A = this chain, B = another copy of it.
């Protein structure tokens, strides 16, 4: 990744896009190779697990893990399984989130949601089995040599998806439907609901390095906290602005569900300003570093400037 950094900005972006696209394909292959086959019993569950995980998705969390891994000197191959595990946890959360008792959504990544395709009961089990699979894959990974390293990853992933992480944020979310949250309450919810897993993605990438540079890990921690929140602010902006076809999921859903968002609380203009501010914070977290942090910087741009 040295070449693009000396090139003009347009070429850098092109090279970043090429990198991102390459890494998305790589993640697709890793997931494909590590998901149970649909020809193996229980076939319908396995088919539904694959349906919910493979074939689409921005793979932002995997990109973060790969970029953080490269920044920390991890071999690419060693980031594969940790990154895939985070994507699998994310996929599980989407399947459960879309269920009728939660957001009741019919469309995800441009296709019918898992429960629309396979029924509610199967979708419930898909989520449960995907969660187990994420932990299984890290625990049995052959490339990560150190048991302590794998344990640290499993611990972080469990915390990030549990009651003080993703599930906790979702609980606050459903509890606050119809209520007008303060900005602080909204931030607290999102730090858990989406922020914790985004942070875990970046840190798992960092932990994939054989030797840990604690200052770099610290920088990744700060960077990922800012970018995790930026991701959500942009999500809220997109939900209020974009149309369903561009998003690949139902747009305007937050308003329909009477949910507090950065747009409803701050207004569109202030929400956009906040996204820029958080982006700047993320970039600032990398200020001690040169080109070796360029992938992360590009990723920060990618996340805050995305249109889907």
Are A129 and B168 within 8 A (Cβ)? yes
**How many interface residues does A have (CB within 8 Å)?**
55
B-side contacts of A155, CB under 8 Å: 136, 139-140
Please provide the chain A residues from 108 to 144 with a CB less than 8 Å away from any CB of chain B in the complex: 119-122, 124-125, 127-129, 131-133, 135-136, 139-140
Are A163 and B132 within 8 A (Cβ)? yes
B-side contacts of A168, CB under 8 Å: 41-42, 45, 129
State the majority secondary structure of interface residues on A: helix
Are B133 and A131 within 8 A (Cβ)? no
Question: Could you list 30 examples of A-B contacts with CB < 8 Å?
Answer: A36-B163, A36-B164, A41-B188, A42-B163, A42-B192, A44-B175, A45-B163, A96-B124, A96-B128, A99-B101, A100-B101, A101-B121, A121-B174, A124-B124, A125-B170, A125-B174, A127-B128, A128-B128, A129-B162, A129-B163, A129-B171, A131-B131, A132-B159, A132-B162, A135-B135, A136-B162, A139-B151, A139-B158, A147-B148, A151-B151
Are B128 and A175 within 8 A (Cβ)? no
B-side contacts of A129, CB under 8 Å: 162-163, 167-168, 171
Rounded to whole Å, the gap between the CB of A141 and the closest CB of chain B is 10
Minimal Cβ-Cβ distance residue in B for A168:
B42
A170 CA to B155 CA, complexed, in Å: 27
B-side contacts of A167, CB under 8 Å: 45, 125, 128-129, 132
Are A154 and B139 within 8 A (Cβ)? yes
Are B154 and A147 within 8 A (Cβ)? no
A96 CA to B121 CA, complexed, in Å: 9
**Interface assignment of A224: CB less than 8 Å from any CB of chain B:** no
By Cβ-Cβ distance, the 10 closest A-B pairs, closest first, are A132-B162, A136-B158, A101-B120, A147-B147, A45-B171, A129-B167, A139-B155, A129-B163, A135-B158, A42-B171
**Interface assignment of A46: CB less than 8 Å from any CB of chain B:** yes
Rounded to whole Å, the gap between the CB of A257 and the closest CB of chain B is 12
A139 CA to B148 CA, complexed, in Å: 10
B-side contacts of A125, CB under 8 Å: 96, 167, 170-171, 174
B-side contacts of A59, CB under 8 Å: none
A151 CA to B142 CA, complexed, in Å: 12
Within 8 Å by CB of A162, from B133, B146, B158, lies B133
Are B133 and A158 within 8 A (Cβ)? yes
